[in-house]
Amino acid sequence: MNKKKYIRGFILSLILTFGIISVFTFSTGIEENIQKLKTFIIYFAFLGILMMVVKWIAETWILKISLFEHKDKFGFFSLMRIVIIGNLFNYLTPFFTGGQPVLVYYLSQKGIKPGETTASIIYKSMIFQIVMTVFGITGVVYSYIYLNLESTLIILAGTLLNGFVIFLILLFSLSKEKSLKIVKSVTMLLKKIKIVKKPEDMMEKIVNNVEAFVNMFKTNSKKIPQFLSVFALSSVQVLTYIFSIIFVLMGFKIDFNIDLFFKSLVLDIGAAIVPTPGTAGAAEGFYYLIFSETADIFTINTSVFIWRLVTYYFVIFVGIILFILRPKKTGDS
């Protein structure tokens, strides 16, 4: 495992998050921001943390369902531990991509073929992208009618990105020939840059996994009850993130309304277009832009700080603890 990559991701996220917040805090007056922070009702921070816990529970059920015939190989809490560790590595890499290899590794420890574990992860990821696209289309329509051009463009960009990801997943998952072609091209590229010395051996292993991946994906993607269950739980995931934003703002006595819901949705979907670890920088920047008409600058300065603590750094903190305390196996690095 390239630990330096993840450490760099964490440091970059810290610099971007606290850099942006510090600029606005110092430029508007430290004393005023401290006074505003003192008015925050701490109860709502715990509600934000609760949303993250509910998100983990929903994601654990999603993964368990997506494992299909292998689901009984994992207990719920052992699977939740894997999910949280996966979240940790997602939050430390651009586009939340670092957690997928981690999930494949830990799921494969139970004797599941890597191709099948990859199929399960991509299956749940595809449905999540579909849910995000559905929410995004709704948000685009609402933003265009009731909000402003900036919010509309932000959520439109995020929705188009989610739609493109769905297209790529389907292209890769439903065609063995295209999958193998992509794998061969990537393997040859790795050989050219001297990362892989024996591409033939690597290709033989990958071909077996690709066959298992495509077969499992084709078979299980037709199971409607499982699809609907994952769709519903993925919707819960999206809603928990939206309400984590809303609860933090309610802690400053900002009343809940439909505009607040859709502005939070714009932030959730729109921030994902920026390829920084945990969308650091983009999340804070878009927060200022989207909620500039919802609250005064002091409320925005302090609420964005609390929001990132409860939804980003809290997840990283718990993930690090579980990663350190994970059961060690021979060769686990």
Give tens-digit pLDDT for 115-151. 778 778 888 888 999 999 999 999 999 999 999 898 9
pLDDT in tens, 280-325: 888 889 999 999 889 999 999 999 999 999 999 999 999 999 988 8
Identify the band that residue 184 occupies on the pLDDT scale cut at 50, 70 and 90: low
Query: What total number of domains does the chain contain?
Result: 1
| Whole-angstrom distance, CA of residue 93 vs CA of residue 89 | 7
Write down the mean pLDDT value for the chain. Answer: 84
Q: Would 243 be classed as within a structural domain?
A: yes
Give pTM, 2 decimals: 0.83
- Contact partners, residue 322, CB within 8 Å, separation at least 6: 81, 84, 85, 88
Per the structure, the complete domain to which residue 285 belongs is given by 3-324
What per-residue confidence (pLDDT) applies to 309?
A: 92
Q: Count CB neighbours of 285 within 10 A.
A: 16
CB contact at 8 A, 53 and 318: no
Mean pLDDT of 65-79: 87
What per-residue confidence (pLDDT) applies to 311?
A: 92
Q: Would 331 be classed as within a structural domain?
A: no
Q: Would 332 be classed as within a structural domain?
A: no
What per-residue confidence (pLDDT) applies to 195?
A: 44
